[in-house]
Structure 1
Amino acid sequence: MNWKETLVFPPEVPISEKAKDLILRFCIDSENRIGNSGVEEIKSHPFFEGVDWGHIRERPAAIPIEIKSIDDTSNFDDFPESDILQPVPNTTEPDYKSKDWVFLNYTYKRFEGLTQRGSIPTYMKAGKL
């Protein structure tokens, strides 16, 4: 990602200088990135000033949500199906998937006892039947 030339903070979007600094310190080569020496470096950044890290899990969520079941998606936005891009099949290449349909669910299992030297009984060897 060429963030040095493409990352822009639009003037109409309100963002603090502390937040800008934190973002820029994350968008840098890994040797100089904030947190490279440990998570304490991130926690001590001025953006997180006033955060009680010792009791953060005990605080209520900033946006309370109610989950009705394990597959509840009511907290996500609904998007019309027409907005979802469907992949277009490539018509220039041959369809290799249909060529190998006979091999679906086929597995190969090597029987070690029959492939090791000396494990085939002599009566089964060629010319001994």
Structure 2
Amino acid sequence: MISGYSSVCDWWSVGVILFEMLVGHPPFYAHTPIETQQKVINWKSTLKIPSESKLSQDSKDLILRLLCGAKERLGVSGASEVKNHKFFASINMDGLRKQIAPFVPKIRYATDTSNFDPVDPDKLRNSDSEDLMRRLDSKMENGKHPEHAFFEFTFRRFFDDAGHPCPLPDPNSPVYV
């Protein structure tokens, strides 16, 4: 019997992102959405960590313990399972928010984008094109999104203290850039 999704599926997403960050490409890359879907569905036979990626055993273990069946997935009993994995052994999770980031970008003004790679204008899609607008309009019915975007979205800030959000800074306090 198929059951609904829980926040455990978000740990799968963390595994996918970690794989892409460490390996350099998505774990289920394919040329079409249908092929990608088939690779995800058949993850037991399609998930492969390339040997040329030269990942540490801890990296491989973390990826494989996130990209696995929901009942076996790291994080099923809470974020502490993930935080306590050997991959994160060198990180002081309790003092993480107090540490200075290894790279602090210099921001000169509110809309400064100098820290991002330049975008080739020839590769941009024209979002104002009539064809795109026509395609989007054809997918809408009475102003409602047909695919129920973000329906049952489960993201939470897993690394917060026991599921309680970290306090946000006072909006009236000064911002230092």
Q: Which amino acid aligns with 1:10?
A: P
Q: Residues 72 and 5 (structure 1 numbering): CA distance in 2 closer, same or farther, change over 3 Å?
A: farther
Letter of the structure 1 residue corresponding to residue 121 of structure 2: E
Find the residue that maps to 1:5 and give its secondary structure. Answer: helix
Structure 2 unmatched runs, 5+: 1-39, 139-177
User: Which residue of 1 is the match for residue 149 of structure 2?
Assistant: none
Q: Which has the larger radius of gyration?
A: 1
Structure 1 pair 83–6 and aligned structure 2 pair: CA distance change class (3 A): farther
Q: Residue type of the partner of 2:92?
A: D
Asked if 1:45 corresponds to 2:121, the answer is no
- One-letter amino acid of the counterpart of residue 117, structure 2: D
Q: 1:55 to 1:68 in 2, by over 3 A?
A: same
Matches within 5 A, 1:64-75: 64-75=104-115
* Residue 25 of structure 1: aligned partner: 65
Paired residues in the alignment total 93
In structure 1, the residue corresponding to 2:53 is in which secondary structure? coil
Gaps of 5+ in 1: 97-129
In the alignment, the residues of structure 2 paired with residue 7 and residue 86 of structure 1 have an alpha-carbon distance, to the nearest angstrom, of: 35
Q: How does 1:50-129 map to 2 (within 5 A)?
A: 50-86=90-126, 89=131
Cα distance in 2 for residues equivalent to 1:7 and 1:59: 35
Decide whether aligned partners of structure 1 residues 45 and 70 sit closer, same or farther in structure 2, where only a CA change above 3 A counts: same
Give the TM-score of the pair, scaled to structure 2. 0.44
- Any idea what SS the aligned residue of 1:53 has? coil
Of structures 1 and 2, the one with the larger relative CO (CA 8 A, separation 6+) is: 2
Q: SS where residue 119 of structure 2 aligns? A: coil
Could you say if the C-alpha distance between residues 69 and 16 of structure 1 is closer, same or farther in structure 2, counting changes exceeding 3 Å? same
Task: Give the RMSD, CA atoms, in angstroms.
Answer: 2.7
Following TM superposition, by how much is the alpha carbon of 1:85 offset from its aligned partner in structure 2, in angstroms? 4.1
Instruction: Give the percent of matched residue pairs that are identical in Structure 1 and Structure 2.
Output: 34
Instruction: Give the aligned partner of residue 15 of structure 1.
Output: 55
